[in-house]
């Protein structure tokens, strides 16, 4: 097997089921049960029969809701944890950033930590020294490199950790949800750096809840759910089905409050599927319990609560009954894809109906133009434009 490849087959991992309460009484009770020969508390599976194969130089995103086994899988790949069953083979030097402060010792200075972490990755001192300046520059720590790390801000600690892991030329780079701490400009630089590392031939496994970042960096994605592989394939497809699964859950959780949605839909011309750059109509029927005037907000998003665009209108609510809200859009500025309709009703800053997804819909029509390589996120807004090109 060449360096940089990951072969994990039939990986199982289990943890002890919820531990006995730390209270002395509970402990004594548990001890008594054990003495009577009753069965010990059981196990819960964290990973069940997961296959994970990555070729050298490939970039794979790992997505899934909290507790789906992403971090456990990464820990098994780094050999920090051992599987209960299965075979795991990772070739080459592994650079892992499992958590923000992985391998960082708070009492030592930034300089000492860089050297220590390099040694942990199995590098000679001189190899670390040769890349030292690059790391410091990337992490923007030139003023703070001789300061103890415990006096760093959490963003600085993260930059240090990421810089060390990403610049010491590992064959496999494992990155677990670390971007959340950095500011936006640093996030973009991390993603650029990951792409550079990929270009140098390093294998990348990237765990993140920032789906746009995953899509920007990874060609392939694996979706874990409840410790099982739910989907494995091209990043775009896997992420789309993951987003939809997330939304469909949320749609079911309809609120009960003074104002509730009864019906929500988006339709195009003559009730057909909406098309890019053509008229469309959003229909929302609300049930109200009390007469008042309130602001109705309607937003369209790709999945997350932050909408691509938002529409708002004050609507008088009936004392007891239904109100129908229709919103007409002349030219729908969305490219082809699946979208979600979010709605909320507010009075001042008060929530009368919480901001939540009420429906999903598909748009047919144009695709977006391809962006420059390395661009993390392209907003899905289709702008009608005409071009004129002439030599002058």
Which residues of the shown chain bind other proteins in the complex (CB under 8 A)? 10, 12, 15-16, 45, 48-49, 65-68, 75, 78-87, 94, 96, 98-99, 101-103, 105, 107-108, 112, 115-116, 119-120, 122, 124-125, 148, 225-228, 245-246, 248-249
User: 81 or 144: whose CB is closer to other proteins?
Assistant: 81
Nearer to other proteins, 225 or 292 (CB): 225
Q: How far is the CB of 266 from other proteins (least distance, A)?
A: 23
C-beta of 107: minimal distance to other proteins in Å? 4
Taking the complex as a whole, the smallest distance from the CB of residue 27 to other proteins amounts, in Å, to 12
Distance CA 120, CA 244 (A): 41
Closer residue to other proteins in complex, CB, 45/355 = 45
User: Smaller CB distance to other proteins: residue 82 or 387?
Assistant: 82
How far apart are the C-alpha atoms of 12 and 69, rounded to whole Å? Answer: 11
CB 340 within 8 A of CB 360: yes
Instruction: Report the distance separating Cα 152 and Cα 158, nearest Å.
Output: 10
Q: What is the dihedral of CA 235, 102, 157, 197, to 10 degrees?
A: -40
Q: How far is the CB of 43 from other proteins (least distance, A)?
A: 10
What residue ranges in 72-162 does DSSP mark as E strands?
Answer: 85-90, 94-97
Q: Is 258:289 a contact under the CB 8 Å cutoff? A: yes
Is residue 283 within 8 Å of 324, Cβ to Cβ? Answer: yes
Nearest residue (CB) to other proteins, 246 versus 323: 246
User: Would you say the C-alpha torsion 160, 161, 166, 170 has a positive or negative sign?
Assistant: positive
Residue with tokens 């270009």: 199
| C-alpha span between 295 and 286 (Å, rounded) | 12
Phi, psi of 228 (to 5 degrees): -115, 150
Q: How far is the CB of 17 from other proteins (least distance, A)?
A: 12
Minimum CB distance to other proteins smaller for 6 or for 294 = 6
Residue among 205 and 317 whose Cβ is closer to other proteins: 205
212 neighbors 179 (Cβ within 8 angstroms): no
CB of 116 to other proteins, least distance (A): 5
Q: Minimum distance between the CB of residue 48 and other proteins, rounded to whole angstroms?
A: 5
């Amino acid at each position: 097997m060449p360096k940089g490849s990951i072969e994990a087959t039939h990986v199982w991992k289990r943890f002890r089921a919820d531990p006995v309460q730390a209270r002395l009484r509970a402990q004594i009770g548990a001890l008594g049960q054990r003495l009577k020969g009753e069965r010990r508390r059981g196990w819960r599976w964290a990973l069940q029969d997961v296959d994970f194969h990555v070729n050298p130089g490939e970039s794979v995103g790992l997505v899934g809701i909290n507790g789906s086994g992403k971090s456990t899988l990464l820990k098994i790949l780094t050999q920090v944890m051992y599987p209960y069953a299965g075979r795991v083979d990772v070739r080459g030097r592994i650079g892992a950033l499992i958590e923000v402060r992985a391998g960082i010792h708070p009492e030592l200075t930034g300089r000492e930590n860089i050297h220590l972490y390099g040694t942990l990755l199995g590098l000679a001192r001189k190899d670390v020294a040769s890349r030292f300046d690059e790391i410091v520059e990337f992490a923007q720590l030139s003023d703070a490199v001789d300061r103890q790390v415990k006096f760093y801000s959490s963003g600085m600690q993260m930059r240090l950790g990421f810089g060390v892991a990403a610049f010491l030329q590992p064959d496999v780079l494992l990155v677990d949800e670390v971007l959340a701490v950095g500011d936006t400009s640093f996030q973009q630089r991390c993603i650029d750096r990951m792409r550079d590392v990929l270009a140098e031939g390093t294998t990348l496994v990237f765990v993140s809840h920032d789906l746009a970042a995953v899509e920007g960096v990874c060609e392939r994605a694996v979706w874990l759910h409840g410790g099982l592989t739910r989907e494995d394939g091209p990043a775009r497809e896997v992420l789309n089905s993951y987003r939809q699964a997330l939304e469909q859950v949320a749609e079911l959780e309809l609120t009960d409050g003074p104002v509730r949605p009864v019906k929500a839909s988006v339709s195009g011309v003559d009730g057909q599927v909406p098309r890019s750059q053509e008229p469309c109509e959003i229909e929302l029927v609300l049930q109200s319990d009390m007469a008042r005037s309130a602001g109705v907000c309607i937003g369209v998003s790709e999945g997350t609560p932050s909408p691509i665009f938002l529409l708002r209108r004050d609507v008088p609510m009936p004392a007891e009954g239904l109100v129908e809200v229709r919103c007409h859009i002349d030219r729908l500025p969305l490219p082809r894809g699946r979208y979600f309709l979010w709605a909320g009703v507010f009075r001042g800053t008060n929530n009368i109906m919480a901001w939540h997804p009420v429906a999903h819909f598909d748009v047919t029509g144009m695709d977006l133009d391809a962006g420059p390589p390395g661009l993390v996120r392209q907003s899905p807004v289709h702008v009608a434009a005409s071009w004129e090109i002439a030599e002058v």
